[in-house]
Chain A
Amino acid sequence: MIGCLLQNLNQLLVASIAVGITFSAGCLSRPQQEGTADLIWGQSGITEGRLQKPRALAIDANDELYLVDMTARIQVFDTEGTYLRGWKTPISKNGRPSGLTIDRAGRLLVADTHYYRMLVYTPDGELLEDQTIGGTLGHGPGEFGFVTDVCEDSQGNFYVAEYGDFDRVQKFSPDGEFILQWGSPGADPGQFRRPQNMVIDSQDRIWVVDACNHRLQVFDSSGKLLSIWGEEGSELGKLYYPYDLALDGQGHVYVCEYGNHRVQKFTLEGKPVGSWGTHGKGPGQLHNPWAIARDSLGRIHVLDSNNHRVQRAIF
């Protein structure tokens, strides 16, 4: 009896604290405050539906999430974390893929990082071998170092980012023919140190997170630098190893910071609007997040890599 009472008291206390937090959060502009998440799912493991340090994330038009982890498994989940299907990349001894993108046709583009190539899969996991770009290590056109990410513009051209051997972005025609390239290793505008991820906006501008230079660069489809912003730091508005980004189409860009363990929201000009996540293992806390994706309802799915899970946030 007394135990029940104590337990109830505990619950009451927790509830009242939660209510307090909710009220105080109400004063702020963002709905998801530190320590909270809209949804958390995922468990460490190598069996079906479990995650082992997932490193890349993509979302398709049906709001299905594609994840790839350190076992080189590509697994598909719905936005509630229900496992739908999965498959493995052909070879992963050298290393696992670290970039995923859905193209306009709904196919999955895989940056097979340590095999210097881009793979193309149907949503059901069928590898379209004739669509593969690259596979050769080198500096030349169509050759790659560590491929980090791929994106497709409105004309069907592919852009492939890489680092390791030579930091650059190469552009290919829809048939996989090399068109042009830009960038080199360095810290000057237009140069890269590990262009970890890219997104393309409605005007075919390519947004690149330049991870080890701690900044974002925006290019037009011919590689001309349009904008550059971001500086190293952990304060609001600064970046530390930005690894992924997402655009909301309403004038905002979300940046996932591997080093700062958070997601920041910026205007397109780089003015900070909000931030979500701190370092840790609790709800609303992140440990070296690698990727983010935004679904059709505007919710942000954060790949909390070293916690082997996905967190959903609204902000």
Chain B
Amino acid sequence: MFQRSITFDSPIYLLLLLLLPLMWWIGYRSLSGLGRWRRIVALVLRSTVLLILVFALADVQIQRRSDQLTVIYLLDQSLSIPVDQRQSMVDYVNDSIEQHHDAAHKDRYAVIVFGRDAGVEIPLVNVSIPLNPQIETVLDPEYTDLALAIQRAKAMFPFDAAKRIVLITDGNQNQGDARRGARAAAATGVSIDVVPVMLSARSEVAVEKIDVPAGARKGQPFEMRVVLRNDSPEDLGKTVPGKLRIVRKSGQREETIVEQDVDVPPGKRVFTISEEIDDPDFYTYEAHFSPNATADDGMTQNNKASAFTHVRGKGHVLLIENWDKQGEADYLVERLRKEDIAVTVTPSDRLFTSLAELQRYDSIILANVSRSTGTDADNVSSFSDDQISMLERNTREMGCGLIMLGGPDTFGAGGWTNTELEKAMPVNFEIKNAKVTPVGALVLMMHAGEMPRGNYWQKRIAIESIKILGSRDYCGLIQWNGSDQWLWGQSKGGILRTGPNRKMMMSRVDRMSIGDMPAFDPALKMAAQGFLGLKDAAVKHMIIISDGDPTPSTTATINSLKKQGVKVSTVAVGSHGRLGSQEMQRIAAATGGKYYAVKSAKALPRIYQREARRIARPLVYEPKPAVQPRIVSQHEILQGMEGGIPPISGFVLTSVKENPLVEILLRSPKPVDEKNATVLATWTYGAGKAVALTTDAGQRWANSWAQWDNYDKLFSQMVRWSMRPTDDLDNFTIATDVREGKTQVIITALDQDDQFLNDLSIAGTVVTPDMTSIPLRIEQTAPGRYVGQFDSEVAGSYMIVANTGAGRAPIRSGVNVGYSAEYRVNETNMALLRSLAELKAKGGPAGELVELGLDPSQPEGAAVSNPFRRDLEPAVSNQSIWPWLILIGNCLFLADVFVRRVQVNFLWVPPLFAKLRNKVLGRQHEAPVPETMSRLQSRKRELREQIESRRTAARFEGSADRVDDSQAIDLAASTATSTSTKPRPQPPKAQPEESPVEESYTERLLKAKKRVWEDRKDGNKDERNR
């Protein structure tokens, strides 16, 4: 199955091997003193070291070639493919696996489904598992992104097998670039087979668009155009009869302006309707076509289109109030209307759903509105992140006013901390000063693993809660993970300050995996213990989410929580029947918390937003006695209020933003820290203006304002100041045209005398349906005509704002892309699919295109091609081994040094062997005399013999003695000149005829000594004689 070989990544370095002969030549000469064998060994070793070094430099690799194959099926699940075709796609995959997958080869396959995104339906397997007709992966089917699907497959391929993609699609992509994605894949050796899904030719009628001018004028008729398109196949050529209905909407009002029978012949048909608007407002027109016979229309999703227009009038304000406190702001609304401001009131459970809806208003007031409201799981409603984002964008980009009126449910106390809305306000909702407001502590207990997607939901709610908490608030999370555990801060009591740890908490939550908690009691005890350690927490709250089956807690534990003032709210999810919820109810009731029985997990984030808000209560400041706000700076909102502001008995604490645009208008004398005592502040936020009034509008804290003469003035001036500017001096018209996924914006600029305005610098911004802002480049193309363009593939509302220059009000418009591009097509994109199949995989052939494809008109289906065919280059994987080689080279280098420096002989082996042999055989053996001793002894013997022979000679030959003596003196003179200063007798010049017997060094020394003694004796005699 696998073949291995050696390869080099940088073979150029192998040229260094040419150094080998040079090294041999030098080495052979320099190592000549080592003897033959050592020299050879040393040369071999250092040659190997050099070889290894060169191999390492050349990045030697072990190459593994595998004949395995991996096939990944990519199934298009986008809406352009009719539902009945999808079954045949699944059947095709199953047939392909059944007929061609050979488990013996250990070939693997996987199935990826895709639309706008891509998900793995079957992971890589090497056994035959049929694909379930019911696709389980959740996708966005409104778009097709072939490139993304190919990229996902590419990332999934294992490195040790040949790669093939089988693409089953109609080829109608509307996101990404499939060709580029496929080319990138082919370059890495991926072969692409294509199985086209043939879309049947059938009648298809679509409302292509509805055109209305973006800015109509009051009472001035305008033309509205509706374009219908009939895509009947040419051979049928059938006219489709049906009903066209056009509806005009403004706010909650809806009226049908056209309802008539029409015939739509093949091709396009344009209907022109004359329309006139009397009431200034923001209008949405919707055109809807319904065919008389459903068979005449393949897709109904593309049968409607909508467009906006805006008729300017007097200022219009949207006031949002909490749905459970409806009527609270009635007095304010009445007074504003009296001041000629149109006010629309909406409760917080019937909120806007798109940015377009907000365009009819010039200012938005949040009157004591909390982020989430409700009493139980069924009626908890909240602002979604998207809606908050719309409010913020509406001010920043679209220039709408935003006013937040206070009350116990607003600002930080309303759960708005760390939201986009906080960004738009001139004050921050958190208090950083501990002296001003005490902190709260929240403990989350998680035990909902048995509910569907339990881990996901528990992560979501934990993150929602952590987000809402202020920086100084405490947070802890208890879960079962083998034992009851705090998710963070185990050694510090488990409950940590949120601010410095928020990121860490979020990342831990992201990684948490929650087990099945056996009993409530130990976890509740841990929580009680944790709360005990918090000395500065004024509000202690706990939320338990559970299915209710852990062993109930003891009364003592519940009491210990109660004693500390901990309120425990319980959220029962998928609880195990009545019994599961009993215990949850008991805990909530005993501690004064709230019990929620949740039927849909979607309600959970809202519940947690509401519950986590409870610990923000300390932000409500109610001084006694009431305090009179001081006017800090003059502003057009406070014009005519020189007499002072009546006292207030409370407001919500905030922190002023450190920004030069922020203007503080009213401040309370208490608390002492001015930063937190803001009552009224304003600033300009992006293109809009925002106002924060931290006390209420006369209901509870500012009730003395209700009787105040300047009440109407204050609030009407506040609203008027915040409203988006309007400018009727110039005459700008803005038109939009949506075509092929792009929107063109055309602005015609005329001045008051209807003369073209040229050379304007117009900058635009588009807010897309997913609330991202994209810059829009608008350029002049003709006198008074300015054009820009942006991508609008995604269905939904696109809001356009164009700033026409300093001193002019921005102009606004919007387009609605009613349906996704998936509904625009009704034939297979064979050109694209063919080009994908023709791409050649690196080192292999092009892919195969199943020409017939999956065609519903051919029930027997296409012949299943064999994606497991072996026509691809075997997969090659390389593994670098140079680090190992370096290690071996190091060892060999040491060996080389050893061979050259240390002479090793084996003479010790035979004696050792003999000794061992004797020992084994039990033989007596005389210890051998060491060689050095025997040498000494023999030498001694020789010397003795020499001395002896000399003595013998001395007895018979006196001359010999004399010669010896003279030689001895000479020797002594050369060795001991320092000890004797006496002049030495000169050696005889004449050499004796017979060479004397050679004397040893010791003998000569002895003789010299003897002579010295004799000389001394002679000297002594001389002295005595004197």
Contact of B551 among A212, A240, A306 (CB under 8 A): A212
Q: How far is the CB of A89 from chain B (nearest CB, A)?
A: 14
Does the CB pair B518–A259 fall under 8 Å? yes
CA distance A216 to B578 in the complex (A): 29
Query: Interface on B for A, CB 8 Å cutoff?
Result: 4, 6, 62, 64, 450, 482-483, 515-516, 518-519, 521, 547, 549, 551-552, 576-580, 582-583, 879, 881, 884
CA distance A137 to B450 in the complex (A): 21
Q: How far is the CB of A232 from chain B (nearest CB, A)?
A: 9
CA distance A272 to B450 in the complex (A): 34
Chain A 252-266 residues near chain B, CB threshold 8 A: 258-259, 261
Known interface pairs A2-B881, A193-B551; 5 further A-B residue pairs with C-beta atoms within 8 A, sorted by A's residue number? A2-B6, A3-B879, A137-B579, A167-B551, A241-B518
CA distance A6 to B6 in the complex (A): 14
| B interface footprint on A127-163 (CB within 8 Å = 1, 0 otherwise) | 0000000000100000001100000000000000001
Does the CB pair A194–B884 fall under 8 Å? no
Closest to A95 in B: B576
Q: How far is the CB of A162 from chain B (nearest CB, A)?
A: 10
CA distance A288 to B879 in the complex (A): 40
Question: Contacts A114-B549, A306-B515 hold; do A259 and B482 have CB atoms under 8 A apart?
Answer: yes
Question: Contacts A137-B578, A163-B551, A164-B549 hold; do A1 and B518 have CB atoms under 8 A apart?
Answer: no
Q: How far is the CB of A303 from chain B (nearest CB, A)?
A: 13
Residues from chain A with Cβ under 8 Å of B578 in the complex: 137
Closest to A144 in B: B579
Question: Contacts A1-B6, A194-B551 hold; do A288 and B576 have CB atoms under 8 A apart?
Answer: no
Question: Contacts A146-B549, A193-B551, A212-B519 hold; do A287 and B482 have CB atoms under 8 A apart?
Answer: yes
Q: Does A211 contact B (CB under 8 A)?
A: yes
Q: How far is the CB of B573 from chain A (nearest CB, A)?
A: 12
Does the CB pair A165–B576 fall under 8 Å? no
Does the CB pair A146–B482 fall under 8 Å? no
Q: How far is the CB of A13 from chain B (nearest CB, A)?
A: 14
CA distance A164 to B586 in the complex (A): 12
Q: How far is the CB of A288 from chain B (nearest CB, A)?
A: 6
Residues from chain B with Cβ under 8 Å of A185 in the complex: 552
Residues from chain B with Cβ under 8 Å of A193 in the complex: 519, 521, 551
Question: Contacts A70-B450, A287-B482, A288-B515 hold; do A3 and B62 have CB atoms under 8 A apart?
Answer: yes
Does the CB pair B4–A164 fall under 8 Å? no
Q: How far is the CB of B553 from chain A (nearest CB, A)?
A: 10
Contact of B519 among A115, A145, A194 (CB under 8 A): A194
Q: List 30 A-B contacts (CB under 8 A).
A: A2-B6, A3-B62, A3-B64, A3-B879, A3-B881, A4-B4, A6-B881, A70-B450, A94-B576, A94-B580, A95-B450, A95-B549, A95-B576, A95-B577, A95-B580, A114-B579, A116-B579, A137-B578, A137-B579, A164-B549, A164-B580, A165-B582, A167-B551, A185-B552, A193-B521, A211-B519, A211-B551, A241-B519, A259-B518, A288-B516
Chain A 280-296 residues near chain B, CB threshold 8 A: 287-288
Q: Does A279 contact B (CB under 8 A)?
A: yes
| B interface footprint on A272-315 (CB within 8 Å = 1, 0 otherwise) | 00000001000000011000000000000000001000000000
Chain A 1-47 residues near chain B, CB threshold 8 A: 1-4, 6
Does the CB pair A6–B884 fall under 8 Å? yes
Main secondary structure of the interface of A (DSSP, over half): loop
CA distance A279 to B583 in the complex (A): 30
Closest to B884 in A: A6
Q: How far is the CB of B478 from chain A (nearest CB, A)?
A: 15
Residues from chain A with Cβ under 8 Å of B521 in the complex: 193, 212
6 pairs of A and B residues whose beta carbons are closest in the complex: A3-B62, A95-B576, A94-B577, A114-B576, A194-B551, A212-B519
Q: How far is the CB of B879 from chain A (nearest CB, A)?
A: 7
CA distance A175 to B547 in the complex (A): 34
Residues from chain B with Cβ under 8 Å of A3 in the complex: 4, 62, 64, 879, 881
Residues from chain B with Cβ under 8 Å of A240 in the complex: 483
CA distance A94 to B552 in the complex (A): 18
| B interface footprint on A200-230 (CB within 8 Å = 1, 0 otherwise) | 0000000000011000000000000000000
Residues from chain A with Cβ under 8 Å of B64 in the complex: 3
Does the CB pair A146–B579 fall under 8 Å? yes
Does the CB pair A164–B519 fall under 8 Å? no
CA distance A212 to B518 in the complex (A): 8
Closest to B62 in A: A3
Q: How far is the CB of A230 from chain B (nearest CB, A)?
A: 15
Chain A 68-94 residues near chain B, CB threshold 8 A: 70, 94
Closest to B583 in A: A164
Q: How far is the CB of A118 from chain B (nearest CB, A)?
A: 16
CA distance A165 to B551 in the complex (A): 9
CA distance A114 to B483 in the complex (A): 24
Residues from chain A with Cβ under 8 Å of B577 in the complex: 94-95, 114-115, 137
Residues from chain A with Cβ under 8 Å of B579 in the complex: 114, 116, 137, 145-146, 164-165
CA distance A145 to B884 in the complex (A): 66
Q: How far is the CB of B753 from chain A (nearest CB, A)?
A: 75
Most A CB contacts (10 A, CB to CB) among B576, B582, B583 go to B576
Closest to B5 in A: A1
Does the CB pair B516–A164 fall under 8 Å? no
Question: Contacts A2-B6, A3-B64 hold; do A164 and B552 have CB atoms under 8 A apart?
Answer: yes
Residues from chain A with Cβ under 8 Å of B551 in the complex: 163-164, 167, 193-194, 211-212
Q: How far is the CB of A192 from chain B (nearest CB, A)?
A: 9
Most A CB contacts (10 A, CB to CB) among B4, B518, B881 go to B518
CA distance A163 to B580 in the complex (A): 11
CA distance A40 to B118 in the complex (A): 35
CA distance A95 to B519 in the complex (A): 17
Residues from chain B with Cβ under 8 Å of A146 in the complex: 549, 576, 579
Closest to A286 in B: B482
CA distance A163 to B553 in the complex (A): 12
Closest to A192 in B: B551
Residues from chain B with Cβ under 8 Å of A4 in the complex: 4
CA distance A312 to B361 in the complex (A): 71
Most B CB contacts (10 A, CB to CB) among A1, A95, A137, A240 go to A95
CA distance A116 to B582 in the complex (A): 15
Residues from chain B with Cβ under 8 Å of A211 in the complex: 518-519, 551
Question: Contacts A137-B577, A164-B552, A164-B583 hold; do A2 and B62 have CB atoms under 8 A apart?
Answer: yes
Residues from chain B with Cβ under 8 Å of A145 in the complex: 579
Q: How far is the CB of B467 from chain A (nearest CB, A)?
A: 30
Q: How far is the CB of B559 from chain A (nearest CB, A)?
A: 16
Does the CB pair B549–A288 fall under 8 Å? no
Q: How far is the CB of A83 from chain B (nearest CB, A)?
A: 15
